[in-house]
Amino acid sequence: MSREDNKTEEFYQKLMQATNAVNAPHFGRKPEEEFKVNIRRDDSVSPGMFKPDPLNPGHYKAHEVTIKAMRKDLFLAGSEEFEDLEKLYICQKCSQELDTQFWTFCPYCEAPFPKDLD
Protein backbone atom coordinates (compact mmCIF):
# COMPACT_ATOMS: atom_id res chain seq x y z
CA MET A 1 0.00 0.00 0.00
CA SER A 2 1.42 3.42 -0.92
CA ARG A 3 1.98 6.26 1.52
CA GLU A 4 -0.98 8.15 0.00
CA ASP A 5 -3.23 5.10 0.38
CA ASN A 6 -2.19 4.79 4.03
CA LYS A 7 -2.97 8.46 4.69
CA THR A 8 -6.37 8.14 3.02
CA GLU A 9 -7.22 5.00 4.99
CA GLU A 10 -6.07 6.59 8.26
CA PHE A 11 -8.23 9.66 7.62
CA TYR A 12 -11.20 7.48 6.69
CA GLN A 13 -10.86 5.52 9.95
CA LYS A 14 -10.80 8.77 11.95
CA LEU A 15 -13.98 9.93 10.20
CA MET A 16 -15.72 6.63 10.92
CA GLN A 17 -14.98 7.03 14.65
CA ALA A 18 -16.71 10.43 14.81
CA THR A 19 -20.01 10.50 16.69
CA ASN A 20 -22.83 13.02 16.89
CA ALA A 21 -24.58 14.55 19.94
CA VAL A 22 -26.42 11.29 20.78
CA ASN A 23 -23.22 9.25 20.42
CA ALA A 24 -24.36 7.64 17.15
CA PRO A 25 -22.00 7.39 14.15
CA HIS A 26 -21.80 10.77 12.44
CA PHE A 27 -20.95 9.37 8.99
CA GLY A 28 -22.31 6.41 7.06
CA ARG A 29 -20.07 3.75 5.58
CA LYS A 30 -21.48 3.98 2.05
CA PRO A 31 -21.31 7.10 -0.11
CA GLU A 32 -24.64 8.85 -0.53
CA GLU A 33 -23.59 10.41 -3.81
CA GLU A 34 -20.67 10.04 -6.14
CA PHE A 35 -19.54 12.76 -8.51
CA LYS A 36 -17.29 12.35 -11.49
CA VAL A 37 -15.38 15.34 -12.82
CA ASN A 38 -14.36 15.14 -16.46
CA ILE A 39 -11.04 16.80 -17.23
CA ARG A 40 -9.42 16.74 -20.66
CA ARG A 41 -5.71 17.34 -21.24
CA ASP A 42 -4.93 20.62 -22.97
CA ASP A 43 -1.37 21.87 -22.54
CA SER A 44 -2.36 25.38 -23.67
CA VAL A 45 -3.95 25.82 -20.21
CA SER A 46 -1.45 27.13 -17.64
CA PRO A 47 -0.24 24.58 -15.07
CA GLY A 48 -2.31 24.65 -11.89
CA MET A 49 -5.35 26.05 -13.69
CA PHE A 50 -8.62 24.66 -15.06
CA LYS A 51 -10.78 26.07 -17.86
CA PRO A 52 -14.30 25.10 -18.90
CA ASP A 53 -14.23 22.89 -22.00
CA PRO A 54 -16.18 24.72 -24.74
CA LEU A 55 -16.64 21.45 -26.66
CA ASN A 56 -18.18 19.61 -23.69
CA PRO A 57 -20.35 21.71 -21.34
CA GLY A 58 -19.79 20.74 -17.70
CA HIS A 59 -16.31 19.37 -18.50
CA TYR A 60 -12.93 21.03 -17.95
CA LYS A 61 -9.51 21.33 -19.58
CA ALA A 62 -6.20 21.29 -17.71
CA HIS A 63 -2.47 21.02 -18.35
CA GLU A 64 -0.93 17.54 -18.13
CA VAL A 65 1.04 18.51 -14.99
CA THR A 66 -2.14 19.74 -13.29
CA ILE A 67 -3.89 16.44 -13.99
CA LYS A 68 -0.93 14.42 -12.68
CA ALA A 69 -0.72 16.57 -9.52
CA MET A 70 -4.42 16.15 -8.64
CA ARG A 71 -5.38 13.82 -5.83
CA LYS A 72 -7.58 11.06 -7.14
CA ASP A 73 -9.24 10.32 -3.79
CA LEU A 74 -11.16 13.51 -2.99
CA PHE A 75 -14.32 13.14 -0.99
CA LEU A 76 -16.74 15.14 1.12
CA ALA A 77 -17.81 13.68 4.42
CA GLY A 78 -21.54 14.26 4.85
CA SER A 79 -22.46 17.90 4.43
CA GLU A 80 -19.01 19.09 5.51
CA GLU A 81 -17.18 21.48 3.24
CA PHE A 82 -13.66 21.23 1.81
CA GLU A 83 -12.67 24.19 4.03
CA ASP A 84 -13.00 21.94 7.08
CA LEU A 85 -10.13 19.80 5.76
CA GLU A 86 -8.04 22.69 4.43
CA LYS A 87 -4.28 22.30 4.76
CA LEU A 88 -2.52 25.31 3.26
CA TYR A 89 1.12 25.20 2.18
CA ILE A 90 3.35 27.76 0.45
CA CYS A 91 5.45 26.05 -2.22
CA GLN A 92 9.13 26.57 -1.39
CA LYS A 93 10.07 26.71 -5.09
CA CYS A 94 7.41 28.95 -6.71
CA SER A 95 5.74 30.56 -3.63
CA GLN A 96 2.22 29.56 -4.73
CA GLU A 97 -0.22 28.92 -1.89
CA LEU A 98 -1.74 25.44 -2.23
CA ASP A 99 -4.32 23.41 -0.36
CA THR A 100 -2.58 20.04 -0.08
CA GLN A 101 -5.89 18.18 0.25
CA PHE A 102 -6.20 18.60 -3.54
CA TRP A 103 -2.61 18.04 -4.72
CA THR A 104 0.13 15.38 -4.51
CA PHE A 105 2.85 17.87 -5.61
CA CYS A 106 2.89 21.49 -6.76
CA PRO A 107 0.84 21.77 -9.98
CA TYR A 108 2.57 25.05 -10.92
CA CYS A 109 6.27 24.10 -10.76
CA GLU A 110 6.16 20.31 -10.13
CA ALA A 111 8.07 20.61 -6.83
CA PRO A 112 7.41 17.74 -4.42
CA PHE A 113 5.87 18.43 -1.03
CA PRO A 114 8.17 17.93 1.97
CA LYS A 115 7.94 14.46 3.54
CA ASP A 116 7.19 15.99 6.96
CA LEU A 117 4.21 18.02 5.70
CA ASP A 118 1.73 15.67 7.41
Q: Based on the number of CB atoms within 10 Å of its own CB, is 104 exposed (0-12), middle (13-18) or buried (19 or more)?
A: middle
The least confident of 7-11, 65-69, 114-118 is 7-11
Q: Is a pLDDT exceeding 70 seen at residue 56?
A: yes
Q: Which residue did the predictor score with more confidence, 31 or 104? A: 104
Q: Is a pLDDT exceeding 90 seen at residue 16?
A: no
pLDDT band at 77 (very low <50, low <70, confident <90, very high): low
Counting residues of the chain whose pLDDT is more than 70, the rounded percentage is 76
Strands 50-52 and 60-62, by their bridges, are antiparallel
Q: Is a pLDDT exceeding 80 seen at residue 108?
A: yes
